[in-house]
Structure 1
């Protein structure tokens, strides 16, 4: 696959994930948030294992892999999706999408702290700009500062949990296929989410009967395409161009989520949203190392071109 084709595929995945923020907002507004999230993740896990079955990639994790699988399930699925679904029920999809755009930045912070990666002045500047962007986002919205802040804080916890999971996944993928790891994390995480839902939302299963055909079509889009196929395709693209190259495209997730919230939900996009977007994209580009990666690539291409001459 040529680089141009890889880039088109990654843009497509970011479009799916951006629109999925609006889809999730619709789902948590119509059903009990934790219950529908558990069912959605279980459906996605089933889809992943069906695909892996035909790819002949299914195997049981080895004894030393189970700890990483369970750790990834709790951070990437249980904590991330619990806070995401509950947070989106308390704030707008626009706010949620902007804060989710901090994913690469928070992953870079944890990589510096846990994996001892180098902290450059560019990354330090990115952390500051990203924080400013979150500030504009949290203060934006017509629902009132208190309401927005609660939902925004839960979205922050959701993306922080996911950032921790990326560290775990990086270690686990050295031992097992990342797509198989994704399947097990989704399956185990969905079962734990279901237990939480039965405890916190005793009428959650009953609420599933109220969904219309259009709502369930949105559910299938979110579960099968955005969650199952989206994550599998993104992970396979990482294998082709590396995590740094693929992370550049995560910035588009924020952009598409904002556009989706405006087009599909009719949410009002305020100037503060776009100010927050600018700061977050700048912060992610600097803090995640994406800009440095791009500059190194350009210098390398320039050196190679001179060598050819």
Structure 2
């Protein structure tokens, strides 16, 4: 298939992002959340620029590209992480996880509105299967939805900000290398988050460098592998296959976060989780366009 390499890379990114969830839980339970998030993202940004410097791909963006970088970092870095942090303090994990699971569907809708990229019937089925799989996994953790709250609204703003940023990234990537775009967004966004942290957590920087070594191993693993490399690959995939198709893979991160939580936090995986995984995988195959590519390939072979 034409995009098989991109699909495999995206699955790898989802493994990293999924395992990153329990790692972040460990980090924010020890460090002030906004402050450590800003430092982690800044480290990721530096890592991206080191990689791009080695590839000799660094250049100064044009004025028009700066517009996408600033708006993109406000949505993808500052808005997403800030609203998610404050939202999860006021809602349940069930509600928050379910709302985050609407990311692929929101991206598909926004892609249709702003990019005139209408999904096919098979892709719509993929979004439905993927969302259903996420719902099964999330709802199995507690006793269903516990009622809406202001926290739910903040979490929705978080995933809406990220979905909107994917549309901008697809536009900016037409002229700017998406990997370099990622680096600029991470650096600028982390600086803005750091100042927000100084406001919300005035003593957040104190004692942060006295953490055990294992926490710093987790910190750098999260920053370099999940955030730096993960976003470089994901944003590159947006350029190659489109924001809606790339976003459907985000459903997989929910299951991989369960695997990571089971290994790192001793949380239980149930048969309901496995059923949810089956729906998610089906959603990825349908929604990504992989099934349609396979059907077209077999039809061409039949005509030869």
* TM-score, normalisation: structure 2: 0.82
1:255 and 2:251 correspond: no
SS at match of 1:175: coil
RMSD in angstroms over aligned alpha carbons?
Answer: 3.6
Partners of 2:282 and 2:192 lie apart in 1 by 36
Alignment-derived partner of residue 103 in structure 2: 103
Partners of 2:234 and 2:83 lie apart in 1 by 23
Q: Deviations over 1:16-70 (max 9, x none)?
A: 1110111111111111111110000000001111111111111111111111110
Partners of 1:138 and 1:149 lie apart in 2 by 17
Q: In structure 2, do the counterparts of structure 1 residues 157 and 238 end up closer, same or farther at CA, with 3 Å as the change threshold? A: closer
Partners of 2:303 and 2:130 lie apart in 1 by 39
Aligned length: 304
SS at match of 1:56: coil
Q: Does structure 2 retain, via aligned residues, the 8 Å contact 1:33–1:89?
A: no
Alignment-derived partner of residue 201 in structure 2: 201
Give the CA deviation at 1:77: 0.3
Give the CA deviation at 1:143: 9.5
Partners of 2:99 and 2:284 lie apart in 1 by 11
Alignment-derived partner of residue 23 in structure 1: 23
Partners of 2:59 and 2:20 lie apart in 1 by 30
Alignment-derived partner of residue 62 in structure 1: 62
Q: In structure 2, do the counterparts of structure 1 residues 7 and 272 end up closer, same or farther at CA, with 3 Å as the change threshold? A: closer
Q: 1:305 aligns with which of 277, 296, 301?
A: 301
Alignment-derived partner of residue 44 in structure 2: 44
Q: Deviations over 1:233-286 (max 9, x none)?
A: 334455666666655543322221121122211234567766766666666766
Partners of 2:119 and 2:5 lie apart in 1 by 32
* Of 50-59 and 85-94, the range deviating more from structure 2: 85-94
Unaligned runs of 5+ in 2: none
Partners of 1:83 and 1:155 lie apart in 2 by 6
Partners of 1:243 and 1:44 lie apart in 2 by 22
SS at match of 2:60: coil
Alignment-derived partner of residue 186 in structure 1: 186
Partners of 1:242 and 1:119 lie apart in 2 by 11
Partners of 1:252 and 1:152 lie apart in 2 by 22
Partners of 2:58 and 2:256 lie apart in 1 by 33
Partners of 1:49 and 1:62 lie apart in 2 by 18
Give the CA deviation at 1:132: 6.0
Q: Does structure 1 retain, via aligned residues, the 8 Å contact 2:80–2:157?
A: yes
Q: In structure 2, do the counterparts of structure 1 residues 271 and 88 end up closer, same or farther at CA, with 3 Å as the change threshold? A: farther
